């Protein structure tokens, strides 16, 4: 605001995940994952909305996850938060759309980052689960076999 006098885009992208069965997840950790993913987004959105409202324009981009649509065993806290993020983004869009403020939810799939690497706590669970970055064979377009541990960028569609 001090440099440019306005806010055009805000990106909400705070989150972390720990891998644990629901019965093994400490309630404090469960709550913390939701606090960061959901309430971090709520707090930032509330902080910028008065400025965006005054401007009559702007965009809030909320980074969610495909895990906000499809559940994966061992990621209950993280994915519960992402389901909430998707709902929050949809409702926020309904509230502020008429004011000229656009809201976007981005739901990327698995991406090899430190979120699913050394920063992820993995508990000894009551059932066999693996971190999302664990090597597994996936098929892209029915042809190439790739390991998730050496995940390249997805193939680009051809527009012939």
Phi, psi (degrees; rounded to nearest 5) at 92 = -60, -40
Nearest of 89, 72, 80 to residue 129 by alpha carbon: 72
Report how far apart, in Å, the C-alpha atoms of 13 and of each of 42, 60, 112 are: 12, 11, 16
Q: Are 66 and 108 in contact (CB under 8 A)?
A: yes
Q: CA quadruple 53, 57, 63, 69: dihedral positive or negative?
A: positive
Structure tokens that stand for 98 in this block: 């008429």
What whole-number distance in Å separates Cα of residue 140 and Cα of residue 116?
21
Which residues carry out catalysis? 64, 78, 82
Nearest of 80, 101, 106 to residue 25 by alpha carbon: 80
């Amino acid at each position: 605001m001090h440099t440019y006098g306005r806010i055009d885009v805000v990106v909400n992208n705070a989150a972390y995940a720990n891998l644990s069965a629901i019965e093994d997840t400490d309630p404090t950790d469960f709550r913390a994952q939701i606090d960061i993913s959901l309430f971090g987004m709520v707090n930032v959105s509330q902080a910028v909305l008065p400025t965006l409202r005054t401007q009559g324009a702007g965009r809030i981009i909320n980074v969610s996850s495909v895990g906000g649509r499809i559940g994966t065993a061992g990621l209950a806290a993280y994915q519960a938060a992402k389901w909430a993020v998707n709902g929050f983004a949809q409702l926020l869009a309904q509230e502020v759309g008429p004011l000229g403020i656009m809201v976007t939810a981005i739901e990327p799939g698995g991406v090899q980052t430190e979120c699913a690497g050394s920063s992820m706590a993995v508990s000894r669970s009551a059932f066999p689960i693996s971190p999302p970055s664990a090597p597994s064979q996936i098929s892209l377009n029915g042809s190439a076999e790739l390991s998730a541990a050496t995940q390249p960028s997805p193939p680009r569609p051809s527009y012939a």
